[in-house]
Structure 1
Amino acid sequence: MGITRQNWTNDMLGQKSRAGGFTLIEMMIAVAIIGIGSAIAVPSYLSWNARYQLKQAATEIQSQLVLARLMAMNRNSAVTMNLAVNAGRVQIAAVDAGLNQVIQPTQMMSSVTGLSPGPANVTFSPLGTRSGGGTANQLIVISNNQGLSYSVQITPRGKIKWCAASTCA
């Protein structure tokens, strides 16, 4: 009548039937664990993201400088790469001797805010060497809003590398 076969079997075996689900205390404990995990993970994620964006900007500057050097050799004309801070963001543009745009201008991510020396200009000769600046390496230092800095170094021969410090060895 009122007893189904399943309930009758459970009652015969001495098992009590219980409705499934979570209690309020179990849910509160799960939410507390997630909250504590988030409180630990978020600052770590933010610092990792800032380092990643700065590294990405350094590699972008390096690749743009390599491209400007190649354009100077291909066109058999000097190409100047200009780096400047505009509206709080680092921007890159390249022009040839006639001030014609050679490479599409690029703007760094918003967290990359510092450039030293600013503005910076790098000129490549038709032979692919760096023009001006003497025999010393030229150093461009970029920094972010958290105080981290990466450097891009250009040798007089035109070799370009970046490093995760304010000076390259």
Structure 2
Amino acid sequence: MKDFKTLNLWPYKFKKWSIPLIIIGIAFLTAYQKGIKPEWGNIKVFAVASTYLENRFLQIVQTNLMDEIGFVCLMSGIGLLILTQEINEKLVFNEYRLRAFIIALKITLGIWLVSYLVLFGYIIFPVSMLMFLIFLVVYYASFRYLKSELYFKN
């Protein structure tokens, strides 16, 4: 690696949007789970596939955007949190990012394998989708932990 710029991380200034987006995403998803679906969110959209009461493909369908808005905000916020430079970016952070990636991969794979062995039927599909979010959270927590070790050593 030449320097931290080879990772193509976004500038630190974008990190300020991460927490607000995560909070908005969680709020929208929580509201959606509680059945709050405001009328302004009901729109017709083109769907490649829609499988609620019936299977429909390549059609215009009616939907409420609460969960889509929540998911996009949550994932965008997590993406900005993870994929932006630190305020005091150092070359050693690249090593921490790689180590955090390996830790997150091992933990996520372990959780997924155990889930697959103890959960049967369709429940494994939402659990498998949740693994992506778990991976990102474990990655970020591992990176923060490894980064904090640097400052505790000094």
Same fold per TM (> 0.5)?
Answer: no
More strand by share: 1
Relative contact order higher in (CA < 8 Å, ≥ 6 apart): 2
- Scaled by the length of structure 2, the TM-score of the pair is 0.26
- Scaled by the length of structure 1, the TM-score of the pair is 0.24
More helix by share: 2
